[in-house]
């Protein structure tokens, strides 16, 4: 089971169900955004077959619980109760329409379990009675929610949003695959197979910002990664900023602080333990700060 939170701003994250695990997502009461390009709603619950990827673009305050279970475990549980015909494996990622109150019950149950496990994880070690009891209650709560489920196909408008999401995904995949190279919007258009005007429109619709601002945000993350890997003895802020195409250092410093909450010089002076905690590039953070990427940009 996993808990995803968006503490501030918008978060764009791709996640994959584990191999051999069925994934069901129960949204919290403040969840807003899209899942695979379709709007999140209290009575909707995505279900994904093992090893299937889903993409979430969510707003501040978002919380969701993802339950990961072995399909065979569910099947065995239902067989023991004479309900073997009640289980159907989803194909890819399906959006199930369910009773909103039951989704909320499932979310609250999962949240309590996550909080309990965080305080005492050893309580749920293999072989412990608590683990078996939790698994039985998980199946009961999940199946009670799925009892009311029906597959909800996308409307015409939702299919359009899904198409927009696929365009953004193609452009973003190209940008992330070439993150250490100087990228231009025209390259994203080529990768996504659309015109610049179309790319502008779908990026604003899906990501909430134009593609140029997204590329600048990638550059800011490149600078941050370089500063965390360097030290005041081996590099300077201006050297690393220039490598990533930022030439107006005053505007760059303001944009960097808006995005990361500290000046680039502060990042460069960080002691090694703090660098280790924040030294990896995390694509999920590209949209995680409200001031990062939403105004005029230097460079």
pLDDT per residue rounded down to tens, the chain (299 residues): 666 665 556 677 777 777 889 889 999 998 888 888 888 888 888 888 888 888 888 888 888 998 888 888 888 888 877 777 777 788 888 888 888 999 999 999 999 888 888 888 777 776 667 787 888 888 888 888 887 666 556 667 767 887 888 899 899 889 888 887 888 899 999 999 999 999 999 998 888 889 999 999 889 999 999 999 999 999 999 999 998 889 899 999 999 999 899 999 999 998 865 555 554 444 444 544 444 543 333 33
| % pLDDT > 70, the chain | 83
Q: How many domains does the chain have?
A: 3
**pTM, two decimal places:** 0.55
| 170/214 same-domain check | no
| 31/145 same-domain check | yes
Neighbours of 57 (CB within 10 A): 24
Cα distances (angstroms) measured from residue 68 to each of 35, 81, 185, 222, 234: 17, 21, 38, 33, 45
| 136/168 same-domain check | no
| 12/136 same-domain check | yes
pLDDT in the model for residue 288: 44
| % pLDDT > 90, the chain | 26
Residue pLDDT, tens place only, 44-95:
888 888 888 888 888 888 889 988 888 888 888 888 777 777 777 888 888 8
Residue where a domain terminates, one of 141, 173, 208: 208
Residue where a domain terminates, one of 138, 153, 168: 153
pLDDT in the model for residue 51: 86
The domain that holds 73 is classified in CATH as 2.60.120
pLDDT in the model for residue 42: 86
| 200/219 same-domain check | no
Domain that holds residue 48: 2-153
């Amino acid at each position: 089971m996993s808990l995803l939170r968006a503490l501030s701003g918008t978060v764009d994250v791709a996640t994959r169900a584990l191999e051999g695990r069925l994934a069901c997502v129960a949204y919290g009461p403040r969840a807003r955004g899209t899942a695979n390009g379709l709007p999140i709603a209290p009575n909707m619950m995505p279900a994904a077959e093992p090893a299937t990827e889903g993409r979430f673009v969510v707003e501040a305050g978002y919380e969701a619980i993802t339950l990961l279970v072995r399909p065979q475990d569910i099947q065995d549980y239902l067989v023991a109760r004479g309900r073997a015909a009640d289980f159907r494996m989803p194909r890819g990622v399906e959006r199930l329409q369910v009773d909103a109150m039951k989704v909320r019950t499932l979310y609250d149950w999962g949240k309590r379990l996550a909080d309990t496990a965080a305080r005492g994880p050893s309580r749920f070690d293999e072989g412990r009675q608590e683990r078996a009891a939790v698994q039985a209650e998980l199946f009961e709560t999940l199946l009670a929610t799925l009892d009311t489920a029906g597959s909800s196909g996308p409307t015409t408008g939702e299919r359009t949003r899904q198409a927009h999401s696929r365009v953004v995904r193609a452009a973003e995949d190209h940008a992330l695959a070439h993150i250490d190279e100087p990228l231009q919007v025209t390259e994203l258009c080529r990768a996504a197979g659309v015109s610049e005007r179309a790319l502008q429109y779908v990026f604003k619709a899906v990501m909430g910002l134009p593609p140029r601002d997204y590329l600048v945000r990638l550059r800011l993350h490149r600078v941050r990664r370089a500063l965390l890997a360097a030290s005041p003895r081996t590099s300077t802020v201006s050297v690393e900023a220039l490598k990533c195409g930022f030439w107006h250092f005053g505007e760059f410093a303001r944009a960097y602080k808006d995005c990361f909450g500290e000046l680039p010089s502060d990042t460069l002076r960080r002691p090694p333990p703090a660098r280790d905690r924040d030294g990896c590039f995390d694509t999920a953070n590209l949209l995680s700060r409200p001031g990062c990427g939403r105004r005029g940009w230097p460079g």
